[in-house]
Structure 1
Amino acid sequence: MSSKITIIGAGSVGSTIAYNLSNNDLASEIVLIDINKEKVEGEVMDIVQGTSFRNPISIVAGDYEDAKDSDIVIITSGIARKPGQTRIELTQTNVNILKSITPQIVKEAPNALYIIVSNPVDIMTYVFTKISGLPENQIIGSGTLLDTARLRFGLSEHFEVAQKNIHAYVFGEHGDTSFVPWSCADVSGASLDDYAEMMRHLGKEPKPLDKAGMEEYVHKSGGIVIAKKGATFYAVSVAVCKLCGMLLSAYDSIATVSSVMHGEYGIEDVAISTLTLVGPNGVQGKVPLKLTDEEVAKLQKSANSLKEVISQIEL
């Protein structure tokens, strides 16, 4: 596959995405851009020296003009939350960074599909949609793709079944107000309760599923990793590379990514994650999965929490 992917930001997440891309066949060209020239050059040198074990690929430490003709641009720039810093302060700082990046990259790659990874990702996706001037279908926030992966891992461990057989999702913001629409969760077409009963007939004894505990696991996983090793970047980079694969495929896929809502579930003018049809033409629209009234209320609450933050920042 011949495609060009540009990554803005060579921190832990951006450089790990570049490394993962260098080990698969999604891209023939990778451009890594960062304000810290020494850092980005070092990252590229380290990555490119391992590519002798694969088919030839171009990886460069570049500037914005090197992003010309990119098929995908991934934005990871931003800073982590500092001790004592409020969520609003962090959001404004990262929004300001995005506002400085956007005109420079959009000028060079106006036809690319953009994946927003920078946190808070839903707000950054919304801001980029508002300020970039690009059609909305070209803009995809990584959203709860990682949260969904964490959920499926947790359920896989619980039921002792391969993650590929689990269809369960995390909706809402990539944050504390996200939730699992359990009414739609299944294992190979069977509801979680039905699957547990089926396993008992096969001589297995799955433990009762603590749904609240599983949601807490999803919510707190990132914080636990950060407390133990300082940052999270492996799992999110795999999720983003998976999303790149969806965007470069021949057919559309369905994923929990963040995009601006236009009345779905009674929600307007905010970017949030629900099931979304994505593919070579970017975002094709939200998939109208039937939720319970309680689940719709949770989604609306999550959207309102994001709107409250947006109302307090300067776009």
Structure 2
Amino acid sequence: MGKSTRRVAVVGAGMVGAGCAYSMINQSICEEIMMIDRTYDRAVAQALDLSHCMEFTSTRTKVYAGRMEDCADMDVVILTAGANPKSGQSRLDVLEDAKNITRDLVSRIMAGGFDGIFVVAANPVDIVTYLVREVSGLPRSRVIGTGTSIDSSRLKTLLSEVFSIDPRSVQGYALGEHGDSQFVAWSHVTIGGKPILHILSQHKDRFKAVDLEMIERRTKDAGWEIFTRKGNTQFGIGNALAYITRSVLNDEHKIIAVSAILDGEYGQHDLCIGVPAIIGKGGIEEVLELNLSKDEERKFQNSCTVIREGINKLAETV
């Protein structure tokens, strides 16, 4: 990480990978991006297309195609390649395919001498992130999943519409599984520093139409709404990946809700789940433990159970 040239590999040159690379180019996050895909020609085509942005950006980013075995000099490897659920399936339904894809990719990347940080977006992201750590053998701090970062962003967008404010004035998190068992930690959501629960209790008439359960449900279902309408999500998750990577490369110490492997935090061990964490040059510098309400704690434990069952199922098929 001490090199002056910041290098990032994007594994999976589809919609999410291309969206991530495009975000990194426009935000001048790194100096080099290597696009990798199982179809090498697609990686070449995406690299060429992305390289044609440079006339219109403030800085130049070198973009080129490569292979899994070429990642030794990369600071960050972003994994977007995975199995996509079909109509009627959940993210957990593609676990077996995701396992096979992830094992192959990570084994080849590590065999090439990679010793940086993984940022994972492939679904089911909490379990895939756990598997990446298992296969790579890297410290838990150097394997980060996008987790509920995108869900937390969706939550802030929904609240910004309800309260007619900039979403960046909202602080709060969706926690747990990036999936059906996720939940909003309402006890920690603030608007302009003021707890949302206090705002609603103090202005009952003004905000009597605000339905927190509906907002929580729309937060959880937002990805599926996009997926069913156009077949994929791309821009939000691509920017989330770029945001996490920027915090790593610039050592920004941003607090982001990511998939982190727990080792005692929240009373959990050997489990990967969406929680707020400080992201810096070492990867996950610290997991933040929120004081959850009893109901939130129950929901968190339920989400842990869902993810652990997935991890156990994955172990049974090894």
The TM tier, using the shorter chain, reads: over 0.9
CA distance in 1, matches of 2:215, 2:113: 41
CA contact 2:251–2:279 (8 Å) conserved in 1: no
* Deviation at residue 268 of structure 1 after TM alignment: 2.0
How far is 1:89 from its partner?
Answer: 5.1
For 1:32 and 1:101, the matched residues in 2 are separated by 14
- Give the counterpart letter for 1:4 in structure 2: R
Partner of 2:124: 120
Q: Which amino acid aligns with 1:284?
A: E
- Counterparts in 2 of 1:226-245, with a 5 A limit? 226-245=227-246
> How many residues in Structure 1 have an aligned counterpart in Structure 2?
312
AA aligned to 1:304 is T
CA contact (8 A) 2:92 2:124 kept: no
1:19 alignment counterpart: 22
Contact 1:275 1:287 in 2 (8 A): yes
Structure 1 residue 199 displacement after superposition? 7.7
Alignment partner of 2:132: what SS? helix
Aligned partner of residue 82 in structure 2, secondary structure: coil
1:71 deviates by: 1.1
Pick from 96, 99, 122 the counterpart of residue 100 of structure 2: 96
CA distance in 2, matches of 1:173, 1:89: 14
Which of 165, 177, 182 is the aligned partner of 1:178? Answer: 182
Q: Distance in 2 between matches of 1:76 and 1:122?
A: 13
1:6 partnered with 2:12: no
Worse-superposed segment, 187-196 or 266-275: 187-196
In 2, distance between residues paired with 1:174 and 1:261?
16
**Gaps in structure 2 of 5+ consecutive residues:** none
1:150 aligns with 2:154: yes
Rounded Cα–Cα distance in structure 2 between residues aligned with 1:32 and 1:295:
40
SS of 1:68's equivalent? helix
Q: CA deviation at 1:147?
A: 0.3
In 1, Cα distance between equivalents of 2:138 and 2:226: 35
Offset at residue 111 of structure 1 (A): 2.3
**Separation in structure 1 between the aligned mates of residue 297 and residue 206 of structure 2, nearest angstrom:** 33
- Percent identical residues: 29
Equivalent position of 2:136 in the other structure: 132
CA 1:21–1:275: 2 relative to 1, 3 Å: same
Encode CA deviations 1:5-36: one digit per residue, 9 max, x unaligned. 10111111011111221212111100000011
Name whichever of 205-214 and 16-25 sits farther off: 205-214
List per-residue Cα deviations over 1:286-310 (Å, max 9, x = no partner). 1121111221111111010111122
TM-score when normalising by structure 1: 0.93
| Two-structure CA RMSD over aligned residues (Å) | 2.0
The 5 Å alignment of 1:199-218 reads 205-218=206-219
Write the deviation string for residues 183-215 of structure 1: whole angstroms up to 9, x where unpaired.
111112211143457789xxx944542110011
* 1:93-123, Cα deviation, whole Å (9 max, x unpaired): 1110000011211233532111011000000
CA contact (8 A) 1:252 1:279 kept: yes
Deviation at 1:245, TM superposition (A): 1.3
TM-score, normalised by the number of residues in structure 2: 0.92
